[in-house]
Amino acid sequence: MPTYKAPLRDIRFVMDEMLDFPAHYAQLPNGDEASPEIVNAILEEGAKFTEEVLTPLNQSGDAEGCQFNDGEVVTPKGFKEAYKQYVEGGWPSMTQDTRYGGQGLPQSLGMVLNEMICSSNLSWGMYPGLSHGAMDALLHHGTEEQKELYLTKMIEGSWTGTMCLTEPHCGTDLGLIRTKAEPLDGDSYAISGTKIFISAGEHDMSDNIVHLVLAKLPGAPEGSKGISLFIVPKFTPDASGEAGERNGVQCGSIEHKMGIHGNSTCVMNFDNAKGYLIGEPNKGLSYMFVMMNAARIGVGIQGLGLTEVSFQNALAYARDRLQMRALSGPKAPEKAADPIIVHPDVRRMLLTQKAFAEGGRALIYYTAQLIDQVSAGGETGKEADELLGLLTPIVKAFLTEAGFEATNEGIQIFGGHGFIHEWGMEQFVRDARITRLYEGTTGIQALDLLGRKILMNQGESLRKFTKQVHKFCQTEEGNSDMVKFVAPLAKLNKEWGDITMQIGMKAMQNREEVGAASVDYLMYSGYVTLAYFWAQAAKVAQEALANGTTETSFYKGKLATAEFYFSKLLPRTKSLVATIAEGGDSLMAMDADQFGAGFEI
Amino acid sequence: MPTYKAPLRDIRFVMDEMLDFPAHYAQLPNGDEASPEIVNAILEEGAKFTEEVLTPLNQSGDAEGCQFNDGEVVTPKGFKEAYKQYVEGGWPSMTQDTRYGGQGLPQSLGMVLNEMICSSNLSWGMYPGLSHGAMDALLHHGTEEQKELYLTKMIEGSWTGTMCLTEPHCGTDLGLIRTKAEPLDGDSYAISGTKIFISAGEHDMSDNIVHLVLAKLPGAPEGSKGISLFIVPKFTPDASGEAGERNGVQCGSIEHKMGIHGNSTCVMNFDNAKGYLIGEPNKGLSYMFVMMNAARIGVGIQGLGLTEVSFQNALAYARDRLQMRALSGPKAPEKAADPIIVHPDVRRMLLTQKAFAEGGRALIYYTAQLIDQVSAGGETGKEADELLGLLTPIVKAFLTEAGFEATNEGIQIFGGHGFIHEWGMEQFVRDARITRLYEGTTGIQALDLLGRKILMNQGESLRKFTKQVHKFCQTEEGNSDMVKFVAPLAKLNKEWGDITMQIGMKAMQNREEVGAASVDYLMYSGYVTLAYFWAQAAKVAQEALANGTTETSFYKGKLATAEFYFSKLLPRTKSLVATIAEGGDSLMAMDADQFGAGFEI
């Protein structure tokens, strides 16, 4: 069975040494709450909860899956009890508004905890995870009454939430939805329609489930401008605010999926269910988009979490498994063969996992600071929001693509054993596979990055980020130890701007050039962004070693991983630049009927 | 449910137009048998059998899996009956020796059929598939008596075979095996030990199972030089040659795996089972290696087969699914949205699948000709064998890596639906995942290619191949239509030699440089090799179009795919060259204890 140990040393490296979280918290209005003692307690208790409670349920949850019986969903053994412990530990309220029972801690701490949850048990984590988006929507757009009725219950954890967007015929293109909302007497609406892929849409872990549902009002404008957002509780709250009468929303079935078996993915049928409008009519999609950054970064965290846990288990196996001798002669002559960690290609795979995990952690924790700043508002918040908008599709798509690669390396290191359920390595791959799809596929993220976030504002937000990278490179210019990192980074940072311009020019002639370049462009952006964080990590490690740290293993390992990243992963940008330069002609040339001419007779 | 249509048009393109199989067959001693009528019948009947019998059992076989009951394995519903039809159709004997009941057709035809089988039902295909290696071993190294006793039954299909190599503590490193063979009276041995990952080790489809088992004789030399090969039948043949007494070999359990659920992957316990030596003592591993080329190319065919079927289904979905408008304006204004095939990134994914499928087909059919030539013997056979040795690890590793990427693109094109069992796209990914592992992982193939096949003979065999590529480029030099293919191919073909030299030089200083470069080198080799076949395909397509073919869809599609390959996939060599140039330092620098310092406290 796979094991998991919260990577507290590396988490602290990123928080304390790379990104100076103490200083960051000192500048937040709610930063006082995040005292070193509190942060410490959260890390320690979070580690304990995820290592001891969630990890042991991950493999059994996968094997058992969710059971669907006539509208009810039974979650895997132990999930319900773990959720109870989670609520008793006060975790659901940690980063929520104090006015509604929250503890008011910065969002970033929730994201650190979330990394551990995603490593230990992604399927379980999605039950409380989905509540977050719903809570955000209620907090920002709900009436005071709605907040008191629903939000307080969700913050205490006794109720959970969902987001009901997708329908059978539309996922990406929400303008096509058909779910209807007919006004009833008073302030309510009758919601009817079918939603699919509703994570945690039905389960046995909470007393009530608060669905946030996209639907169309009568006479609403066509397409995405005519979508409104509604609260549809599974049980309508009674006079005392407890779960009351059963509402007209039913789980019709659950999906049988490649992974995340422990999470219920529901078809939800709304049949004149009583719903309540959130905010103004026809603004539903924009309310959703506001929460999208957090949700998408949440999926990036899933990629990170799975990368980390796969790495940990692959490392243990690579040290233990004896097979062949090193090409340069025996390294463990006393044994029948050498442990496979001696082989360069096994090291390449382990280092790929480690580089994506630790680099991805730095990137995500950086965006966590931005999210804190956005919450705090003001001028800083506005600037943070722009940067966050830029980095969100990179975090979401790049770190999930990296997570899929990394978890696959985890299988590969185990050889044939990696393919067997028992070892748990293939579950990480199956679970990771969904992260490239939901909350917007990699292709959609890429269009968001290149089209919306960059070209639509003439590269303004990209320039803000590349300026920051440029500044870092300039500062380190004279540092001879840093040349090997800063020189290639500076070059790529400049190239990033150049290829953006290049695509922008082409796109003025032909809009399809944006879509043709987008995924390569996103991956390119991801490699450069991670290089920036790896360069920073290298700098901190070099300083620690220069200052005579006693933790030489940690810092030397960090530095060596930075070197690996720059020499073995970052050169992937070369191919991406080349394919971007090729443009879209070879994609668009073929007629639709020519694709299948080899088998369609 | 996914569908499958044997790509007969493209198969004929490769066989008749690219590789001139009629001329190839004319030069084989058994080539007369492969008359156009016979080839035609095999293609038509093979298509029918795989489309109508095997395809419908693929998804149900995955869902049902194999059942293990007290030593017996029940295969999924319909598998047994399909096997019966396969036997009745005379398929097992198609390419086998006429002296033992075979039809004596060239191996290549079996490989073409095998592609269709792998597309339609990989799990099922592995039952007869595993027999092939066992039959080869018996044919080449068995006594006349052994051939009459076992081979005839296997050729008629009433008995099947296995290869028992791996043990719990060793897969790649077979020198470590512990299974013992103690001489008994007469010509038999008592075989004892445990073998794992034995595909089709136990099942209900044939009357008997003939295990070929690697074991050690008493006093055998240490390591791989002390391994012998034994026949261990499940039922010892009786006096009349039928399955007689039950032998001491039992299936202890079957593995629960990520994919290929319909195939039984068995733990086989040998407890003083009666076995019979094949060939000479201590030569077992070399006998196995002789069959390795065919087995490894067989796995490459699995990668191809899964790529093809995933492509076919993704294409149908991309034409059908409506989502968003094309960036350059509506393409299907009469519909609610455009079919997603209009989007450049969806096309990129489809074309990636198509390019790997059709390019892979040409590469594999080319190796099929080499295999035919090797079987025919003589000087041509010797030369073919050298080329085959070079191309085998490329076919095995590159086409399975490509297959995994392509089947994953298949999921991606389906969006969230790709993650759901029902659509069948995720099964192709799970099934494809094993192909990167068994018969030697990608890492092992890479070492075989760079270390054994290339550096060990000073690049001799590589030079033979690059010379062939060079000749093709030279011939087309003056052809202006071909410049866009031939110019980059010639450049890469030269670079291939250069980087080989570069690595060879480094390896003289430090043997670990071979392992450090190997996987990147293999992938590089794969891209260049496929470019060679795509350039040839382009040439044929250009000529057909110039000659006024009526099949413009087919040939234009072929040409456009070649252009896509050169502009969007081949540039991946740039990154590979860069990472190879970086050498192994960044892989070897880290101490084993530094890897885990982020989480090990």
DSSP B538-585: HHHHHHHHHTT-S-HHHHHHHHHHHHHIIIIITTHHHHHHHHHHH-SH
Q: How many angstroms away from the CA of B243 is the closest CA of chain A?
A: 32
One-character DSSP codes across A263-281: S-EEEEEEEEEEEEEESST
Helix axes A344-376, A378-393, angle to 10 degrees: 150
One-character DSSP codes across B170-183: BSS-GGG---EEEE
Amino acid at A276: Y
pLDDT (0 to 100) of residue B118: 98
Is residue A442 scored above 80 in pLDDT?
Answer: yes
pLDDT (0 to 100) of residue A341: 98
Q: Which residues of A555-587 are buried (b: 16+ CB within 10 A; e: fewer)?
A: bbbbbbbbbbbbbbbbbbbbbbbbbbebbbebb
Question: Do A114 and A94 touch, CB atoms closer than 8 A?
Answer: no
The band of A174, judged by pLDDT with boundaries at 50, 70 and 90, is: very high
B 496-535 residues inside an 8 A Cβ radius of A: 510-512, 514-516, 518-519
Q: How many angstroms away from the CA of B283 is the closest CA of chain A?
A: 20
A 435-474 residues inside an 8 A Cβ radius of B: 436-438, 441-443, 446-447, 451
Question: Which residues from chain A sit within 8 angstroms of residue B169, using beta carbons?
Answer: 322
Closest-CA residue to A357 (of A301, A411, A408, A412): A301
A591 and B556 within 8 Å at the Cβ level: the answer is yes
Q: What is the mean pLDDT of each run of 10 residues along chain B (601 residues)?
A: 97 98 96 95 98 98 98 98 98 97 97 98 96 93 97 98 95 94 95 98 98 97 96 97 97 98 98 98 91 91 98 98 96 96 98 98 98 96 96 98 98 98 98 97 98 96 98 96 98 98 97 98 98 98 98 97 98 98 97 94 73
A598 part of contact set with chain B, CB < 8 Å: yes
Question: Which residues from chain B sit within 8 angstroms of residue A358, using beta carbons?
Answer: 598
Question: Which residues from chain B sit within 8 angstroms of residue A9, using beta carbons?
Answer: 597-599, 601
Question: Which residues from chain A sit within 8 angstroms of residue B326, using beta carbons?
Answer: 512
Computed over every residue of chain B, the mean pLDDT equals: 97
pLDDT (0 to 100) of residue B549: 97
Calculate the alpha carbon distances from A101 to A95, A97, A98, A154, A367 in Å: 10, 7, 5, 10, 26
What was the ipTM of the complex prediction? 0.98
Element (H, E) at A232: strand A228-233
Question: Which residues from chain A sit within 8 angstroms of residue B310, using beta carbons?
Answer: none
Query: Phi and psi at residue B254, in whole multiples of 5°?
Result: -115, 150
User: B76-119 pLDDT, tens per residue?
Assistant: 999 999 999 999 999 999 999 999 999 999 999 999 999 999 99
Mean pLDDT of A329-338: 96
pLDDT (0 to 100) of residue A294: 87
Nearest to A412 among B345, B441, B560 (CB): B441
A344 part of contact set with chain B, CB < 8 Å: yes
The band of A293, judged by pLDDT with boundaries at 50, 70 and 90, is: confident
pLDDT (0 to 100) of residue B288: 87
B578 and A574 within 8 Å at the Cβ level: the answer is yes
Mean pLDDT of A275-285: 97
Question: Which residues from chain A sit within 8 angstroms of residue B514, using beta carbons?
Answer: 327
pLDDT (0 to 100) of residue A288: 87
Element (H, E) at A210: strand A208-215
pLDDT (0 to 100) of residue A401: 98
Question: Which residues from chain B sit within 8 angstroms of residue A592, using beta carbons?
Answer: 319, 339, 341
Cα atoms in the Cβ-side hemisphere of radius 13 Å centred on B144: 1
Question: Which residues from chain A sit within 8 angstroms of residue B346, using beta carbons?
Answer: 443
A591 and B7 within 8 Å at the Cβ level: the answer is no
A347 part of contact set with chain B, CB < 8 Å: yes
A515 and B343 within 8 Å at the Cβ level: the answer is yes
Mean pLDDT of A58-64: 98
What would the 3-class secondary structure string for B95-108 be? CCCHHHCCCCCCHH
pLDDT (0 to 100) of residue B292: 80
pLDDT (0 to 100) of residue B412: 98
B166 and A446 within 8 Å at the Cβ level: the answer is no
Rounded to 5 degrees, what angle do the CA atoms A158, A160, A161 make?
155
Element (H, E) at A120: helix A107-120
Question: Do A377 and A140 touch, CB atoms closer than 8 A?
Answer: no
A332 part of contact set with chain B, CB < 8 Å: no
Q: How many angstroms away from the CA of A344 is the closest CA of chain B?
A: 5
A512 and B344 within 8 Å at the Cβ level: the answer is yes
Mean pLDDT of A494-511: 97
Q: Which residues of A69-99 are buried (b: 16+ CB within 10 A; e: fewer)?
A: eeeebbbbebbeebbeebbebebbbbbbbee
B119 part of contact set with chain A, CB < 8 Å: no
CB atoms within 10 A of CB B240: 6
A305 part of contact set with chain B, CB < 8 Å: no
Question: Which residues from chain B sit within 8 angstroms of residue A328, using beta carbons?
Answer: 510-512
Closest-CA residue to B395 (of B439, B459, B451): B439
List the single residue in B with minimal CA-CA distance to A10. Answer: B598
Which 3 state secondary structure label does DSSP give A199?
strand
A574 and B575 within 8 Å at the Cβ level: the answer is yes
A560 and B586 within 8 Å at the Cβ level: the answer is yes
Which residues of A belong to the active site? 439
Rounded to 5 degrees, what angle do the CA atoms B536, B541, B542 make?
100
pLDDT (0 to 100) of residue B416: 97
B6 part of contact set with chain A, CB < 8 Å: yes
Mean pLDDT of A156-160: 97
The rounded distance, in Å, linking the Cα atoms of B301 and B428 is 14
Q: Which residues of B333-357 are buried (b: 16+ CB within 10 A; e: fewer)?
A: eeeebbbbbbbbbbbbbbbbbbbbb
Is residue A289 scored above 90 in pLDDT?
Answer: no
Tokens of A171: 């996922």
Q: How many CB pairs under 8 A join A and B?
A: 336
Question: Do A297 and A111 touch, CB atoms closer than 8 A?
Answer: yes
Mean pLDDT of A489-514: 97
Assigned superfamily of B289-585: Butyryl-CoA Dehydrogenase, subunit A, domain 3 (1.20.140.10)
A571 and B571 within 8 Å at the Cβ level: the answer is no
Extents of the domains making up chain A: 450-584
A551 part of contact set with chain B, CB < 8 Å: yes
A 247-276 residues inside an 8 A Cβ radius of B: 255-259
- Classify residue A242 by its DSSP letter: S
List the single residue in A with minimal CA-CA distance to B599. Answer: A7
Q: How many angstroms away from the CA of A351 is the closest CA of chain B?
A: 8
A258 and B426 within 8 Å at the Cβ level: the answer is yes
Q: How many angstroms away from the CA of B552 is the closest CA of chain A?
A: 9
B234 part of contact set with chain A, CB < 8 Å: no
A592 part of contact set with chain B, CB < 8 Å: yes
The rounded distance, in Å, linking the Cα atoms of B176 and B193 is 13
B51 part of contact set with chain A, CB < 8 Å: no
User: B510-546 pLDDT, tens per residue?
Assistant: 999 999 999 999 999 999 999 999 999 999 999 999 9
Question: Do A287 and A137 touch, CB atoms closer than 8 A?
Answer: yes
Which residues of B belong to the active site? 439
